[in-house]
Structures are given as C-alpha cells and as structure tokens.
Amino acid sequence: MENVIEIENLCKSYDGFSLDNVSLCVPAGSITGFIGQNGAGKTTTIYSLLNIINTDSGSIRIFGMDYREKETEIKERIGIVFDEMGYHDSMTPFQLNRMMKNVYHNWQEDVFFQYLERFGLPARKKCGKFSRGMRMKLQIAVALSHKADLLILDEPTSGLDPIVRNEMLNIFQTFMEEENHTVFLSSHIISDLERIADEITFIDKGRILLSDNKDKILEQHGLLKVKKADLDRVDKADIIAVKKSTYGAEILVKNRSECHQKYPDLLMDSPTLEEIMLFYVTA
C-alpha cells in the first residue's frame, strides 16, 4: 500500500471557519507532520478522518478502505493521542486496562503494563491526579498496546517541557521504525517536526498551502537577504513573500537553485521550516 491515509477535497463549514477542499496523503512507513498555527484546521481534519464529526463533502480512505464503511475495522488498527486526555479523572490505569480489553480485539495487557513501568506511571493512581506529561504518556501507552499500524497524534507535545517532549518524539520514531508503521503527527511546534518528520503538510485558514517531502521543501526554498535598492531586482514570479526591515528585506523564494543563478551577487540562506511557514502565512 502506497498511502495509509488519502483525503480528497474535504470540506467542512462552521460559523466563521471552513475546511476548503483539503487534500493530503500520508505515505506508508513515514512520519508525516501536519503543521499550522492554532485554529488553522488541523484538529477539524483529524476529527473528520476519525469520523468524529460529519463532513460536508470529500472522500477519506484509510488503509485503502472507506473511513465510514469500515470504521470499526480501521479504528482497530489506529492508535490515537489527543491534546486532551479523554479518560475520566476518577479512573486509574489499572481500571483503564480492564476497559480496553473490551474495546480492542488485539489488546496486549502485558505490553500496556510494560509501558506504564517504562513511563513511571502508577497503575492505581487516579488519572485526574496525573500531570500533563503523565496524561500524554498514558494515552501513548494505550495507543501502543493494541498492535496499531498507524498513530494519529493531535498536538501530543503541546505544553510539555523540553525533556518530556524529547522523550515523546523518541517514542514516535521508535514506533515508526518497528515493522511497517506510520505516524500522522499534528503540531504547531515546527522544530519537533523538522527533527523527525519525513513528509510535511502545511495548512492555514482551512487550506493546504504546501505538501511535500520535508527535505525537498527545505531544499527548494531559499531566503534572499537584500538591501532596499536591490528589492526591485527580484522577479515577482520568484517571490512567495517579503519581510521588510529598516535597511533591507528578506525574500522567501520557491526555487532556490534558479534564483541563485539569476541573482548570484545576492545573499541566499537556507530557511527553516518555521521560517517557511511564517512567510507563507504572511503571503
């Protein structure tokens, strides 16, 4: 299977916001980063592909199957981690384990308790007394304990300290490297995705602005740094966006190698993913 997730022309309208013909693919065996600022449409897209909300139009296929016709079969193979934990505060991981036995056919009790021990999570402590980092680890322990082929993660590292975030990212990478697993990771923390993602899809105001291999995106885009007098020399067709300053300007271009040949005397830098995202939002 080439793509684990295929979304085509997805539309969903709310008062004041809409997904506008969103199309994206998540290749098998990859970590795909789904980036965008808060309110860009990341969670709405994820809720749509999980059939949590009704869509207005478009098609969604997961593992090559229609997400509505084969919803139960599909969700058996998906591990899900949300920004907020959905388990009742009065539950303990011990009780959660008993509940999950009746939810997933492939639930692995021994694996779940191994993750609890690895993450330092007390089995009989109420979830409501867990820190944010502990809550995220508990969700991940559940997601990894029923032989999931796909992890769908919605802002899993938001609000975590750098040490816990680093631990989470290592877990996702390890999961992806084992067998033929796939990760779809939504985040507005671009540095996390720049570190571990293979593919990047960038959404803003309900529209996909950019979707490609991460290394290709970084290789194709360039950041020209020019003086005010040189700004008009740059062809508008090469420009994605311009950020002006007192003494000059920074120009994001989408064809770095061509622009390097066209403007050999101008300084060309390599932008980060975060810089690329900010320039596209400006544009």
Residues of the chain with pLDDT under 70: 1
Q: What digits encode the pLDDT tens for the residues 37-50?
A: 888 999 999 999 99
Domains of the chain: 3-217 (3.40.50.300), 221-282 (3.30.70)
Cα–Cα dist 190/179, whole Å: 27
pTM here?
A: 0.90
Q: What digits encode the pLDDT tens for the residues 134-161?
A: 888 899 999 999 999 999 999 888 777 8
DSSP run (H or E) holding 209: strand 207-213
Backbone angles phi and psi of 148, in degrees to 5: -70, 145
Sign of CA dihedral 31, 32, 38, 42: negative
Q: Is 236 exposed, middle or buried (0-12, 13-18, 19+ CB in 10 A)?
A: exposed
| Cα dist from 214 to 89, 221, 272, whole Å | 39, 11, 11
| Residue-level pLDDT at 226 | 93
DSSP 256: H
Is residue 111 within 8 Å of residue 147, measured between CB atoms? Answer: no
Q: Which residues pair with 153 in a beta bridge?
A: 81, 185
